[in-house]
Structure 1
Amino acid sequence: MKGWLLKWTNYVKGYQRRWFVLSNGVLSYYLDQSEVHLASRGSITLKAAVIEHVDPCTFAISDSSKQLSFRVKAETEAERQTWITSIELAKGAKMPAADKENPAPTEVKMIRNRRTRVPDKPHYPLSLWTLMKNCIGKDLSKIPMPINFNEPLSMLQRLVEDYEYSDVLDIAASCSDECEQLAYLAAFTVSAYATAETRINKPFNPLLGETYECDRTDDLGWRCLTEQVSHHPPITALHCESKEWVSWQQFSLTSKFRGKYLQVNPVGGAFVSFPATGRRYFYRRVTTTVNNIIVGKLWVDLEGQLEIVGSNAAKGYKCILNYIPYSYFGREEQRSIKGVVLNPKNEAKWLLRGTWNDKVEIAPVLHTSGPAKNPSYTTGEYRVAWQRRPAAPDSDKYYNLPVFACQLNEPEEGVAPTDSRLRPDQRCMEEGAWDESNREKLRLEEKQRAVRKQQELKEKQAIAEGRPFSAYKPMWFKLERVEGSTEFMHVSKNTYWQAKAAQDWSGCPNIF
C-alpha cells in the first residue's frame, strides 16, 4: 500500500505532507514519489509496532522500543481505517516457509534510479542588439530565436509534466461518488500550473514527427506518449494511461503580444476517463499572461474560467473553476482559484479553494442558501486535495525545474529515434554547450523547412497533374471525430509500445 499522509514534524512546522509506502512489513516515508528509489526519510518495522488511535483521522505508530514514532493524519476517517487495517495485516503476516528442494521463484520489481537535477545554467548574457542585428533585412518569421530564452525541455515533455501529481488522479479514480471524484479531478487540473510562477523560460518547439515517451509504471503507475502531429498550425497529441484512468489531449496555442505583456491562449482540450465506472470528463486550459516583457521582472498570471464537463456515466456533472487574475485593488489572494462542483440538477455539492501555485482544498456542501446568482454555502471540513511539493533550495540555478521535470530529459535506451531526448540542440543546451546548441537548432530548423518545401512542391505537382496527394500523417496518432461532437481530435493508435517491445522503428522519419 502507498499514498499521501500528513506527518507531524514539530510545533513550528506542524503536519507536513509525505509519501508513505507499506511494503514487506515495513512502513517508510519519503518527501514525494520521486524519492522511492532512494533511501527513505524514516521507517518502522511493523512486527512489534504499537498503533495508537488519536482522533477520527489521526493515528500514531511506534516501534517496539517506542523510541521511534510516526504521528500521521489521513484525509478521511475511512482512509485512516484503511491504513490501520493494512498495517495490522502487515504486522500479523507470516512469510511462507521456504521449500529447500523446490524454492519458489522470487519476483523482484526493479525501480530505476533517476536523477534529481540537471547541470547548472551557464551565464550567457544576451543584449537586445545581439538579437536585433541578426534580423536586419530578413523575414522576421524565419529568424531563429537563440536558446537563451529556452529551458532544456521540449514542449512535448512540458505537457507530460501535467501528470507529475498523478496521485491525485489515483484518488479520484477510487471515489465512488461522482461529485467527489470531480472535485479531485479539478484539483488535478490545477496542479498542471504548479511551477508556472517560476518557469519563465520557454520549451523547445517540437519538430514535425518528434515524439516523447515517459514510462513511469515502475514507480508512478502510468506511461505516456506525445507526438507533434502538425507543424502549421503546431499541434501536439498526448496519450497517458494507468490501470485506474486514461487521459488524452490535443494541444495547440495562439499568442498575442500586447507591448507590455504576452498573452498565450491554449487551443484544444483534454479528456480523462475512469474505465471502471465508465465516467469521462473533458476540459480546456485557461489563458496565461507573461507580464513585463520589455522592462521589469517577468511574472506570470492565469485567468479565465475552466469548465470540466462529464459525459457517458458522468453526464450532467460539471465543475466550474475560476482563475482570478491579479488586481492591485482586489481583495482576493494573488493566484487564487475558486470552484464549485454541480450535479445534474445544478446543485452545488463540493467547493474548491486555494492557489494554483501552492495547494487546493475541497469540502462537501452541506447546505445552500441565498439567491441563485449569489448563493451562500455551508460546508463540511476542508481537506487538502493537492499541494505543490517544495522546490529544491538551489533550483534557481537550473531553470527552476522541479525534480520530476529534471528526470524527463534523462537519457534512456530503446526509445524511438524521434524522441526528444535525442534532439541534439536540446541535449547540448542541457550540457552547457550553448554555442553548439544554437548551431544545431539552426540546422534542424533549416532541415525542417527544406522538408516542408519538398512536400509543398509535391502537392502542387499532384494538383497540376490531377492526381490525389497524400498529406502528412502522424506515426502514432490518428484523427478521429470526438464522440458526441462535431470536432475532431488526434487519438492514439495504440501501436507505440508494441513497436518499442520489438524495437521496430522502421516507419519513423529522420528528423534529427
Structure 2
Amino acid sequence: MVETESEATCTAVLTPPLSLEGGLAAELRPANLVQRVLSLFRNVRPGSDLSHLQLPATFNLPKSQLQLYGEAVYCAGEDLLSRCARGKDSLERLASVVAWSISTTRPPIFGFAPYNPVLGETHHVSAGSFNVLLEQVLLNSQFSSVQVSHRPPVSALHATDVGGNVELVWCQHPVPKFYGTSIEATVKGKRQVKLPKFNETYEVDCPNLLIRLLPAPSVEWSGAVRVVCKSSGLEAELSYCRSRSFLGIGGDPRCVKGRILRSGTGDALCEIEGHWDRTVSLKDLKTGKVSVLYDARRAIADLRTPVVQDQKGLSPSESAVVWGEVSEAILNKDWEKARQAKRQVEDTARRLAKERNERGEVWMPKHFSLSQDKNGEWECCPLVASVPAAPVVVPS
C-alpha cells in the first residue's frame, strides 16, 4: 500500500546532489534570506521539536529528505564502499568504513531544507553495481488525523551491490530542536554497514547538524561519532568540531579528529585528523606512518545528477515523482505554483491518513518490517535479501 496518489506518468524531477560546490542553492537564495529565516521562529518556543514544522516552498531545496539520505550513498566520486570490502585485515576495513562515513558528510546549506517525506514515499536508484532503496516507513502527527507526538518520522534504507560484498541497512529519524539562537538536528537510529564475506557488521553514527541563527548565521556538522565492529573488537571515535582560534574567535568549523582503538582495552592504534571538506589523515601509532584516509575532492566534488533510465519502471511513490511538480516550480522560481503543488501533496497525505484511520486500517511499509527494540528505538528489516536494479541511475 502506498500513501500517495501521484501517477508514474508525472514528471520526475531530479536535481544535482549536494557536493563541495552547492551551486543550486546559490541560485535559489534570496537577498534577504537571513531576515526571512529569523521570521520563521518568532513564535517558536526554545526547546521545541521542529520535526513537524512545515516550511514554505521558498525555503525548500527541490528534493526530498529521502533523496538527501540516498545521495550520501550513491553519489560519490570514488567507490569507497567497495574499498571497505577489499581491506586486507580488520583494521584496514574499519579505517575504510570510517573514510566512507566521512564521505556521507555533505556541505550543509543555510536557509534551505528538503521536503519532509510523506508516508510510503520511496526513492530507488542504481549507481554502477550498487542498488539503493529508501522508504518513509513511519510518520509523526504532521499528516495524521490522530495526534501521536511520540512517533518520530522514520526513514529506512537498504542498499546492496550485485557481488554481495557490501550491504547497508539504516533506520533513522532526525530530531531537530530550536534553542532560541540556534537549531540542532540529531539523527537518531541505527546505521549498519555489513561486509558478509568477513561476517563483519559496523554500527555507524551520524554527526549532528547545528544551525546558528545569531550572532552570525552559519550551518555546520558537530558532535561525536562512533564506528563500532563487535566481531573484530575495533572501533573509531570521531569528533566533528571547530578548530581552535585566537581568543576563541572564528576557527574552522569543518575539522574532524579522533582515533581507532581496541574496544576491550581502549588501546589506541591510529589517530585521525583533518577537515571533512578537504583531506583527513590517518597516523599509525605503532609505525608513525601517516597516510591520506579521505580526500573530499575525489569523493564529493563534481558529482553527477541521477537520470531516469526507465520511465515506465518509476513507482508512483518515487520521491522525484511525488514532488516533481513542486521541484519544477521551485527551479522556475514560480513560488505560487510551488506553494499550491506542495499543499496538494500534503493535503493528499492527510486525507489518505484520515481515510485509513476511519477504516481502522493499520498502514504497513512495502519494503521493510518495522519494530521497536527493548529501549524503544525503531528497527527496520528489509523484506528482501538484495535490492533490485532501479529505473533511476547515476551516469557512469
What's the TM-score bracket when you normalise by the shorter of the two chains?
A: 0.7 to 0.9
Kindly indicate whether the alpha-carbon contact (under 8 Å) linking 2:124 and 2:390 is maintained by their aligned counterparts in 1. no
Residue number in structure 2 paired with 1:387: 295
The within-5 A match list for 1:428-467 is: 428-459=329-360
CA distance 1:498–1:182, shift in 2 (3 Å): closer
Distance in 2, Cα, partners of 1:341 & 1:254: 28
Aligned pair count reads 343
Residue number in structure 1 paired with 2:147: none
Kindly indicate whether the alpha-carbon contact (under 8 Å) linking 2:118 and 2:139 is maintained by their aligned counterparts in 1. yes
Residue number in structure 1 paired with 2:56: 146
CA distance 1:115–1:130, shift in 2 (3 Å): closer
SS in 2 for 1:276: helix
Shift of 1:407: 1.1
CA distance 1:327–1:259, shift in 2 (3 Å): farther
Shift of 1:264: 0.8
Listed as ranges, the gaps of 5+ residues in structure 2 are 1-14, 18-22, 44-49, 141-151, 392-396
Distance in 2, Cα, partners of 1:247 & 1:500: 16
Equivalent position to 1:478, from 369, 374, 377: 369
The one-character-per-residue Cα deviations of 1:257-289 (angstroms, maximum 9, x if unpaired) are: 112111111111200011111111102212211
Residue 238, structure 1, aligned to residue 150, structure 2: no
Distance in 2, Cα, partners of 1:148 & 1:250: 29
Structure 2 residue identity aligned to 1:458: R
Distance in 2, Cα, partners of 1:141 & 1:194: 21
The within-5 A match list for 1:74-473 is: 121=27, 144-163=54-73, 164-165=75-76, 167-196=79-108, 198=109, 200-217=111-128, 221-232=129-140, 233-242=152-161, 243=163, 244-292=165-213, 296=216, 298-311=217-230, 313-314=231-232, 316-325=233-242, 329=247, 334-343=253-262, 344-366=264-286, 379-389=287-297, 403-404=302-303, 407-408=305-306, 413=311, 414-422=313-321, 423=323, 424-459=325-360, 470-473=361-364
Larger Rg: 1
Kindly indicate whether the alpha-carbon contact (under 8 Å) linking 1:239 and 1:492 is maintained by their aligned counterparts in 2. yes
Structure 1 residue identity aligned to 2:212: N
The one-character-per-residue Cα deviations of 1:107-165 (angstroms, maximum 9, x if unpaired) are: xxxxxxx98987983576678689979x99xxx99984222111111101100122234
Shift of 1:211: 0.6
Shift of 1:487: 5.0
Shift of 1:454: 2.5
CA distance 1:150–1:409, shift in 2 (3 Å): farther
Distance in 2, Cα, partners of 1:178 & 1:141: 38
Listed as ranges, the gaps of 5+ residues in structure 1 are 1-113, 367-378, 392-400, 460-469, 502-512
SS in 2 for 1:209: coil
CA distance 1:188–1:439, shift in 2 (3 Å): same
